Structure 1
Amino acid sequence: MHGNHDDAHPVEQVAADVLRGYLEISGPRTATALAEECGLGASSVAIGLAVLEQSGFVLQGFFTDPDDPPSPETVEWCSRRLLARMHAYSRTNRRRAVEAVTAQDFMRFLLHWQHVAPESQLRGQHGLRAVVEQLQGYEAAVATWEPEILRARLVDYQPAFLDRLCHDGELTWLRLSPWQAGSDRRSSPSKATPITLAFRSDLPWLLQAARLDHEIEAPTVGATAEIVEALGAKGARFLAELATDTGRLRSDIEEALWDGVARGLLTADGFAAIRFLVGNRRPGPRPVRSVSRRRRGAAGQTAGAGRWALVGDAEAVDDREALAEVVADQLLQRWGVVFRDLAVHEGLAVPWRELQWALRRFEDRGLVCGGRFVAGFSGEQYALPEARDGLHAARRRDRTGERVVVNACDPLNLTGVIVRGARTPAVRTRVVTYIDGLPEASEDALPAFGGASPVS
């Protein structure tokens, strides 16, 4: 006697139940393999897998040979729970296989990773792009960028390289970190004002990472306030136009522009203004004074070279996970290996715990490697695959007394942070000399603080 058809399982549910039981113990399988091993037709397998995927039981991907060219025939299916266990075992085995290097070898690696060590420098405009891509978001004294930081990484650096990228709209410069002084107190031009170079396309998330919900307050009175108002109303303006808009002297405009830079409010479309501030600022020949109030004529060399514009406020962060991932990616590009001490040293507004979760997600996707890469530091560490290989090479490389000198404002001034010893303050007139990754003793160094690691 036939049973009631209402009590019978639909064909797709039967196929799904068969596949569920098999995938719980079998590991990754292609649809073709499942059809052969379970005795089901190809159409039944396709329907059953669709049911299981919709319920969240299985995931599809390329698990066995992820490096092989993907194709519909090689797509594999695996139980979500079993895949999580496999990932955990694989992650544990990979981390155990990592051999930690000393802090000294890590510094030797970084000197090559950031193209400062001999024979590792880059060339040309493409090299400049690579350097900025690695360093963007790091703030250093305005006077050190071209003569110290960029020239240390490019063997043939020319100011025209930077000018071209700025004028083409690829790069910009600005202060990211919030200014701490009172809103109406003017900041005088200073060679120590911290700025960064950045790609304009990355500026939105860089502002978010540095400021989060912190709003930069513009002054309410004075020349800076008038310039901010003019730029907000009319867009980018030259210094001469700002002088006309505000009715102020050029000297007042120049002082106010640099006050806006120090506050993180203003930037210019070129680097000529920076060079004027860094230079000796000696005036050229004075033009004959005009007797008309309206005729201004030539102004000679000026700190306002180029058009000036508002930086703008950081957009509200609506996805903290996405922001943490892009910041973690930037830190990986800069250091190759990321752990808490380096992240805290950056002084970002994004907390380490959020970066840590982002790095864990990268590891789950196979984008980075987790493990103990640098000895002497607690907590989780993550490295790019190419950085892991670079660490191995640094360990094997003979110590020949290689001498590398960097400015104290350079990001590679990691004295007291990575290597044990006194901290050399980030002052533009000082330098740090590394010999085989170890800094020479300096009379200007400050006492070491917590977090420095042993070097042997």
Structure 2
Amino acid sequence: GATRLVEVVTDQPSPFAATLLFRYTGAFLYDGDTPLAERRAAMLSMDPQLLAAALGTLDLRELLDPDVVAEVIAELQHITPGRRAKTPDDLAELPRLLGPLPVSALPQRVEFPDLDAALGALGSRVTTVRIAGETHLVAVSDLAILRDALGVPIPPGHTAPPASEGRDPLTQLIARYARSHGPFTVSEVAAAFGLGVATVSLVLDREVGARRLASGRFSLGMTEPEYVDPEVLRRMRTRSLAVARRELRPVSQSAYARFLAASHQLDDRPSSNPDEVLFALQRLAGAALPASAWESHVLPARLAGYQPAHLDALLAESEVVVRVCGSAGPHDPLVALLPSGELDLLPPPAGPTSPESHTVADALSAGDGTFAAVHAVLGGTAAEAAETLWRAAEEGVIAPASMAPVRARIGSGRQMAHRAARPAPRRRARLPRATSSAVLGAAAPPIATGRWYRVMDPELSPAETALAQVSAWLERQGVVTRGGVTADGTPGGFAAAYRLLSELETAGTVLRAYVVEGLGGAQFTTREVLAQVRGFADSPDKTKWPSGIARPTPVVLAALDPANPYGSVLPWPKHPVARPSRAAGALVVLADGLCLAHLTRGGRVLTLFADPQVKADTAFLVATALQRAIGEGRLHRLRIEEVDGQPTLVSGVYEAIRSAGGRLVPQGIVLEG
């Protein structure tokens, strides 16, 4: 029979051809998106000879883990604690296993103090000879090889042994050197035995040809060819592959949330003092948050017994500065509190500044830095001048020297996002006194008290700004992801950040790996953080809580708190009705890395993220946590009117909330601490 070939041109490839085309294109298109750990694992899993045939030379410098290489070498040289000589008999075995050993290198290989006495007790089993101008400890059984290979004379008191058997003595000597060392060069072997480089090269090339040695490049920073025993290479390669595969195994999203809570000290709050406040602010790395949240939720969640005086002390000593970065709502500015030495972590102002703001800054610079200097230039009423002052602050042109005007700004409006102080139950009408502003004229309003100054932070280049931004992400989040960058509102979004992060990965500054499951391959972190995150992995046992803890302590956070990963780095838990958000004034309750609940601004709508069978238990935990926050003064009384889209009284969790201390009112249930 005959086979006829007919060529057909189609508009679309067939399913089979489409698969081939995609694989070919994807091999190049998505090569850069593959995490480095996955690429390392793929290369290390290949046979070294096949890899050398594919690349033309065996180059494993970027693949072998440096820590693994150092660990294998220490084991081969009997330097690690478990392999050091513990008795004189163990010491006698070392030169037989490792070959001639410099006497000066013996102390790091033994664990007993009196080395000289141990050598004397060995008698005729070992002796010392001079090799390459240095005294070495050798096994008596090796004297024939040393004599025939290196011309070392037989020491007095020892009979001349017969000629060495097997392969030529020099090859035996170098082969044992290879078995007890990591990657080495020709010059290192020549220096160890006092031989010429040409002589050693002939032996090594012959061993490589017989496949008893492998040649290539194995050590970072090494440019000349190296040699290694195949068994030693196998150990380094398999252990490096195990490390790379561990980096590929992601942790659960709740494990990442537990890591974040621990890194922000939510689980074990230290007692508040100025030093601990400074440490907490360093961890927040220039985060801009609603002013109403800082001293009601953000700092109290990290510090037991937080007092505003501790922050005031840092501001008075210029260890911490205040920067206003916009507004979260009426009378609730976005404020960043950061150490004075970390101003580079603050992102540049988002928009252009107005001429009026520059007028305010000029007035402060020319005057005494108080509201009076600004009011004298602007004119108008004190309230109008104070509002202009705050607009200049929100544009990033000026900043207050203390928190006093910020606190007053929060208290000047009824609709600030977070309210912690309980209002007085009743106020009586008062006549203005002779010292009031009605008599004295235009005094500084509370929102404009204290000293203000023109912001003159150092101007960074675009590259320095981008690096500072990555540093801030890593400090606050530990793992940089698409969701975290998007929620941060970075100009250019994740696409702009991705290019820089890829360059940092190539430079070895950050590591791309599958750190958290379900977040894709574009996750960047550091090796130190990666090891810490893996330390919070879920328990292998099937328990109620992911970590295996019997009863975790729930914590209440502002939804915008960087320690809350939900809604930014992590997606919100699925809910059939609610659509939670990281809005100013909203709260979340976390326990063991799980998001238990979301409370809208004002606390009237509660969303529980729980299965129906444990919903009542979850409601009790949430209500208990909210009661504790109210008792600490972080929250005003809460009136929960709706739970999961239903009135509280018919939501099925009313009794659980009431058992946690709730009180029934016509509109729902009240928590008062």
1:403-430: per-residue Cα shift (whole Å, max 9, x none)? 1211223223433441433653334433
Is the contact made by 1:174 and 1:196 (CA closer than 8 Å) also made in structure 2? Answer: yes
* Mapping 1:413-424, distance limit 5 Å: 413-417=564-568, 418-419=570-571, 420-421=573-574, 423-424=579-580
One-letter amino acid of the counterpart of residue 347, structure 1? G
CA distance in 2, matches of 1:412, 1:157: 18
One-letter amino acid of the counterpart of residue 128, structure 1? V
Do residues 228 (structure 1) and 379 (structure 2) align? no
Do residues 216 (structure 1) and 348 (structure 2) align? no
CA distance in 2, matches of 1:414, 1:237: 40
Is the contact made by 2:392 and 2:398 (CA closer than 8 Å) also made in structure 1? Answer: yes
Do residues 163 (structure 1) and 312 (structure 2) align? yes
Secondary structure of the residue aligned to 1:172 is strand
Do residues 264 (structure 1) and 396 (structure 2) align? yes
Instruction: Tell me the residue number matched to 2:653.
Output: none
* Mapping 1:148-159, distance limit 5 Å: 148-159=297-308
CA distance in 2, matches of 1:355, 1:126: 33
Bigger drift between 383-392 and 404-413 goes to 383-392
Do residues 106 (structure 1) and 256 (structure 2) align? yes
Is the contact made by 2:397 and 2:454 (CA closer than 8 Å) also made in structure 1? Answer: yes
CA distance in 2, matches of 1:314, 1:424: 38
Is the contact made by 1:105 and 1:437 (CA closer than 8 Å) also made in structure 2? Answer: yes
Query: Shift of residue 317 of structure 1?
Result: 2.5
Instruction: Tell me the residue number matched to 1:409.
Output: 560
Query: Shift of residue 197 of structure 1?
Result: 1.4
* Mapping 1:276-315, distance limit 5 Å: 276-279=408-411, 286-288=433-435, 299=443, 302-312=446-456, 315=459
Is the contact made by 1:401 and 1:435 (CA closer than 8 Å) also made in structure 2? Answer: no
Is the contact made by 1:192 and 1:428 (CA closer than 8 Å) also made in structure 2? Answer: no
CA distance in 1, matches of 2:294, 2:597: 25
Query: Shift of residue 227 of structure 1?
Result: 1.8
Distance 1:167 1:92, change over 3 A: farther
CA distance in 1, matches of 2:469, 2:260: 19
RCO higher in structure (CA 8 A, sep ≥6): 1
CA distance in 2, matches of 1:25, 1:390: 27
Determine which of 195, 209, 220 is the counterpart of 2:335. Answer: 195
TM-score (norm 1): 0.66
Distance 1:288 1:333, change over 3 A: closer
TM-score (norm 2): 0.47
Secondary structure of the residue aligned to 1:137 is coil
Percent identical among aligned pairs is 24
1:196-226: per-residue Cα shift (whole Å, max 9, x none)? 1123333245234xx4xx6522145xxx564
One-letter amino acid of the counterpart of residue 354, structure 2? A
CA distance in 1, matches of 2:396, 2:252: 38
Query: Shift of residue 386 of structure 1?
Result: 4.2
CA distance in 1, matches of 2:495, 2:240: 20
Query: Shift of residue 269 of structure 1?
Result: 0.9
Distance 1:326 1:122, change over 3 A: farther
1:275-323: per-residue Cα shift (whole Å, max 9, x none)? 112236899974436999xx869x48722222112335883625x2x43
1:355-374: per-residue Cα shift (whole Å, max 9, x none)? 44554565566655442110
Query: Shift of residue 102 of structure 1?
Result: 1.2
Do residues 342 (structure 1) and 484 (structure 2) align? yes
CA distance in 2, matches of 1:280, 1:176: 19
Is the contact made by 1:423 and 1:446 (CA closer than 8 Å) also made in structure 2? Answer: no
One-letter amino acid of the counterpart of residue 310, structure 1? R
Instruction: Tell me the residue number matched to 1:183.
Output: none
Query: Shift of residue 142 of structure 1?
Result: 1.3
CA distance in 2, matches of 1:309, 1:90: 58
1:215-271: per-residue Cα shift (whole Å, max 9, x none)? 522145xxx56423413x527611123223444443222222222223333211111
Instruction: Tell me the residue number matched to 1:241.
Output: 373
How well do the aligned residues superpose, as a CA RMSD in angstroms? Answer: 4.3
Instruction: Tell me the residue number matched to 1:398.
Output: 548
CA distance in 2, matches of 1:80, 1:364: 23
Secondary structure of the residue aligned to 2:536 is helix
Q: How many residues align?
A: 367
Determine which of 516, 520, 523 is the counterpart of 1:378. Answer: 520
Determine which of 112, 131, 135 is the counterpart of 2:280. Answer: 131
Is the contact made by 2:258 and 2:593 (CA closer than 8 Å) also made in structure 1? Answer: yes
Distance 1:92 1:139, change over 3 A: farther
Is the contact made by 1:370 and 1:381 (CA closer than 8 Å) also made in structure 2? Answer: yes
CA distance in 2, matches of 1:175, 1:234: 21
CA distance in 2, matches of 1:260, 1:91: 56
Unpaired runs of 5+ in structure 2? Answer: 1-56, 62-181, 199-217, 227-235, 414-426, 540-546, 608-673
Query: Shift of residue 145 of structure 1?
Result: 0.7
1:10-37: per-residue Cα shift (whole Å, max 9, x none)? xxxxxxxxxxxx9989997689727628
* Mapping 1:429-448, distance limit 5 Å: 429-442=585-598, 444=600
